[in-house]
Amino acid sequence: MSELRFTEDHEWLRVEADGSVTVGITAYAQDALGDVVFVQLPELQHYEKGAEVSTVESVKAASGVYMPLTGEVVEVNEQLDANPEQVNEDPLGQGWFFRFVPDDADAVTALLDQDAYDRLLNANADA
């Protein structure tokens, strides 16, 4: 498995062998949301970075998931329609949301690495 990258919105990204990028939400994010009951997945289309492409509905509230980089969504995890709890049970695996092809393949490396994301979580915990 290639190294994970993260956004400040608690999404993770993983570059796959074919150059596409898989996106999901982190363990921290799913824990904060509580039990996920529904995920509205993106359309298979081009989105700008920062666009709200998906919504996670938990028992508590609805939260947006944002396009981490500009690119074309090429696949969504349709398993989540029937099994939204996979987001809680396996956020970095079966609970993935979508795959996209970034316009700029190098932009992924500019995102937070594991150390930087851990520091962000620690800073949040201290705040």
Partner 1 sequence: MSETLHKTPLHALHLELGARMVPFAGYDMPVQYPLGVLKEHLHTREQAGLFDVSHMGQIRLAGNDAARALESLVPVDIVDLPVGLQRYAMFTNEQGGILDDLMVANLGNDELLLVVNAACKEQDLAHLRTHIGNRCEITPLFEERALLALQGPAAVTVLARLAPQVADMTFMQLRTVELMGTDCYVSRSGYTGEDGYEISVPANVAESLARCLLAEPEVQPIGLGARDSLRLEAGLCLYGHDMDQQTTPVQASLLWAISKVRRADGARAGGFPGAETIFAQQRDGVARKRVGLSPQERTPVREGAEIVDDHGQAVGIVCSGGFGPTCGAPVAMGYVDVEHAALDTPLFALVRGRRVALKVSKLPFTPPRYHRG
Closest CA to 96 of 19, 32, 50, 42: 42
The span of 1-9, 52-60, 93-101, 106-114 binding partner 1 (CB under 8 A) equals 52-60
Distances in Å between the Cα of 84 and the Cα atoms of 9, 19, 24, 123 are 20, 26, 12, 29
Nearer to partner 1, 26 or 58 (CB): 58
Choose which of 35, 103, 104, 118 interacts with partner 1 (CB under 8 A): 35
Is residue 111 within 8 A of residue 6, CB to CB? The reply is: yes
User: SS3 of 16, please?
Assistant: coil
Nearer to partner 1, 51 or 62 (CB): 62
Please identify which residue in 48, 81, 104, 113 interacts with partner 1, judged by CB under 8 A. Answer: 81
Q: How far apart are CA 118 and CA 18, in angstroms?
A: 28
Q: Which three-class secondary structure state does DSSP give residue 88?
A: helix
> Minimal distance in Å, beta carbon 87 to partner 1?
12
Decide: is 124 part of the binding site for partner 1 (CB under 8 A): no
Exactly one of 51, 60, 103, 118 binds partner 1 (CB under 8 A); which one?
60
Binding site for partner 1 (CB under 8 A): 34-35, 37-38, 40, 55, 57, 59-62, 81, 85, 88
